[in-house]
Structure 1
Amino acid sequence: MQGLSTTTKHPTPAERGLRAGWWTYRRRQQLWGFLFALPAVILFAVFAIYPILQTFYLSFFDFNLVDPPQFVGLRNFETILTTSAFRDSIAFTFRYAFGTYIPTLVLALALALALNTKLPGRSVLRMVNFIPVVISWVIVAVVWKLIFHQNGLMNVFLSSLGLYTPDWLLSRDWAPYAIIIPSIWKEIGFYMVIFLAGLQNIPTVYYEAGKIDGTSAWQAFRYITLPLLRPTIVLAIVISIINGLKIFIPPFVMTQGGPAGSTRVMALIIYQTAFANGRMGRASAMAVMLFLIILLFTLIQNRLYGTGRDVEA
């Protein structure tokens, strides 16, 4: 039996040179990519990462911009958690977040369903509903502050109907609604676009099969649209809650957190504690608490969104 012989083909000098040149080219391209990204990385580190780390650091100090910082451990956290003003701000922040997202998402989904049909002029309607999203929050807050003035358009309208005309911005009972209503008006268009994107990703073959089986519009919505739109709905819910927890401009411009702290959100009390009272350490502890709450909801979003995508798959 004759043995088999094997030969090993060695690369020629030209092939080795070509391969080395290719790796050199790739390294050069990677280096250029890194250099182009470096300015953005530096800016992100300076204006995002460093302030977060500095806030965590200052939360353990008694720092008032005048005296040298003094380490106090967890005393700042103990103080804010036992302060009624901060606890009330947490309560109103959650009230605002949940009170805003429910009507906003319901109305946005209804608009998306309507504009996902062959409705005449739907492109114009999409644009009109999205306009409030691109308007600055400061402008929105100033305009709605005038609308909710005691002699503003809202009370003129209510008076013409013979209804009660509250002092929206000076009443503990009505001021929260004066903050929530503009937020709903401004955010509907944003979530409408999210829902439209989700609706347009649903294959039409499911609806065609449903028509063959004789399903009604409600049955198609309940058994086809809602299950397949679940990841989008979960994403919109958590984004809405997170945005609600970070709200600052509407209560700052419209009520300054009043009357009697009834519209003071966490971001606003952090601002007032830091820049009005000069208690930077205590304000940093409040900011850390807000950061941890938002981080918790972000983790929940990632978990639920991943689960929703698994169900869809």
Structure 2
Amino acid sequence: MGAKIYQNKKYIAFFLIPAFVFMLIFLYYPFIQNIINSFQHIKYMGTAADKWNAPFYKNYLEIFKDPKMLIALKNTGIMIIATIVGEVGLAIVLSLLVSNIKKGAGFFRVVYFFPIVISATALGLLFNLVFLYDKGMINQLLQLIGVLDAGKNELIDWKATHPMFTMLVPVIWQYVGFYFIILLTGLSGIPEDLYEAAEIDGASKLQQVRYVTLPLLRNSICTCVVLAVTGALKVFDLPWTMFVNGMSNTWLTGTYMYSKVYVDVDYSSAIAVVIVIIGVVLSVVVNQIFKTNDDYDV
């Protein structure tokens, strides 16, 4: 009786059609409309388009002339590299270490995953206090250990002198735990027999990681890299909280798009389309890099 329900295609349609309608209304239609908006003239949010741009691709030409947009693309490129190396790289190291712990592994899983459940806005405010120019936590620590002269009240203005570093640290710190859990799940699917066989053959722990763990973890790493790349393109809330209205040298594609949406809707729509295109292209590139003929399905 239970198996026959899967043979009746009407039940499949019953569950698929509502989900498809929901995605059609709230995902595909807005995205298509956004593409159309990028070719029209819409000045303010909530107003209708009054005409088509002349030429219709004017906004896309403007993207490559806009100095702030070029800064945003450059900073987003830095963010992508930082997330791949910092977030995914650290997550690989942490997952390998925790997977070898026999006692207390649950504690580290909770500790490393905890930042992802905290609101990005709250984290932005928290790290504003950490990097605060006037007696922020880091400046106090540097004065305490003698790096900065406390007598002269020597301080470092982190946001002004190291804006990208100030922005990248909390973003990386927040998302390491997310990729850590994905990779740890992938590690749990690798059979212990393979490690035992490698150990019998005389492989060291480092060789086991290189020749057993990493090749079999390739699909999980690929997933993490794709998520890191696409996430870096649309990261918004935490950087916006730390740099309200942005700064001339801290724009990201997500923050700059948001800053334009209330004063130049069609241009903001064009930026959104470019973000999607870059994300799709980079995702394809990442999948091609990790693609092999004998993928191990963890």
Question: Over residues 130-162 of structure 1, what are the superposed CA-to-partner deviations in whole Å (9 max), with x where a residue is unaligned?
Answer: 111111211111211121111221221222122
Aligned-partner SS, 1:214: coil
What amino acid does structure 2 have at the position aligned with 1:263?
A: T
Q: Is residue 270 from structure 1 mapped to residue 257 from structure 2 by the alignment?
A: yes
Which residue is 2:152 aligned to? none
Instruction: Name the CA distance, whole Å, in 2 between partners of 1:38 and 1:286.
Output: 32
In structure 2, the CA distance between the partners of 1:118 and 1:270, relative to structure 1 (3 Å rule), is closer
> 1:32: Cα distance to partner?
4.9
> 1:308: Cα distance to partner?
4.1
In structure 2, the CA distance between the partners of 1:194 and 1:32, relative to structure 1 (3 Å rule), is closer
Task: Choose the corresponding residue for 2:63, options 77, 80, 105.
Answer: 80
Instruction: Name the CA distance, whole Å, in 1 between partners of 2:193 and 2:223.
Output: 25
Q: Is there any run of 5+ residues in structure 1 with no aligned partner, and where?
A: 1-22
CA contact (8 A) 1:80 1:86 kept: yes
CA contact (8 A) 1:206 1:224 kept: yes
Which residue is 1:62 aligned to? 41
CA contact (8 A) 2:245 2:259 kept: no
Question: After superposition, where does 1:1-313 map in structure 2 within 5 Å?
Answer: 30-65=9-44, 68-72=49-53, 73-150=56-133, 151-164=135-148, 165-169=155-159, 171=160, 173-256=161-244, 258-259=246-247, 261-275=248-262, 278-305=263-290, 307-308=291-292, 310-312=294-296
Instruction: Name the CA distance, whole Å, in 2 between partners of 1:109 and 1:247.
Output: 22
Question: Over residues 249-291 of structure 1, what are the superposed CA-to-partner deviations in whole Å (9 max), with x where a residue is unaligned?
Answer: 12211012543x211101111111111xx21111111111111
CA contact (8 A) 1:132 1:187 kept: yes
CA contact (8 A) 1:132 1:186 kept: yes
Instruction: Name the CA distance, whole Å, in 1 between partners of 2:202 and 2:49.
Output: 76
Stretch of structure 1 that moved more, 211-220 or 34-43: 34-43
In structure 2, the CA distance between the partners of 1:140 and 1:26, relative to structure 1 (3 Å rule), is closer
Instruction: Name the CA distance, whole Å, in 1 between partners of 2:251 and 2:239.
Output: 7
What amino acid does structure 2 have at the position aligned with 1:129?
A: Y
In structure 2, the CA distance between the partners of 1:107 and 1:69, relative to structure 1 (3 Å rule), is same
Instruction: Name the CA distance, whole Å, in 1 between partners of 2:81 and 2:172.
Output: 11
What amino acid does structure 1 have at the position aligned with 2:268?
A: A
> 1:312: Cα distance to partner?
3.5
What amino acid does structure 2 have at the position aligned with 1:271?
A: Y
Q: Provide the aligned C-alpha RMSD in A.
A: 2.3
Instruction: Name the CA distance, whole Å, in 2 between partners of 1:136 and 1:75.
Output: 37
Question: Over residues 5-26 of structure 1, what are the superposed CA-to-partner deviations in whole Å (9 max), with x where a residue is unaligned?
Answer: xxxxxxxxxxxxxxxxxx9x98
Q: What is the aligned-residue identity percentage?
A: 28
In structure 2, the CA distance between the partners of 1:82 and 1:234, relative to structure 1 (3 Å rule), is same
Query: Across the two proteins, how many residue pairs are aligned to each other?
Result: 283
In structure 2, the CA distance between the partners of 1:210 and 1:67, relative to structure 1 (3 Å rule), is closer
Instruction: Name the CA distance, whole Å, in 2 between partners of 1:140 and 1:297.
Output: 28
Instruction: Name the CA distance, whole Å, in 2 between partners of 1:188 and 1:52.
Output: 30
CA contact (8 A) 2:40 2:49 kept: no
Instruction: Name the CA distance, whole Å, in 1 between partners of 2:64 and 2:94.
Output: 41
In structure 2, the CA distance between the partners of 1:204 and 1:35, relative to structure 1 (3 Å rule), is closer
Instruction: Name the CA distance, whole Å, in 2 between partners of 1:225 and 1:257.
Output: 44
CA contact (8 A) 1:234 1:308 kept: no
Q: Kindly name which structure, 1 or 2, has the bigger radius of gyration based on alpha carbons.
A: 1
What amino acid does structure 1 have at the position aligned with 2:158?
A: W
> 1:209: Cα distance to partner?
1.3
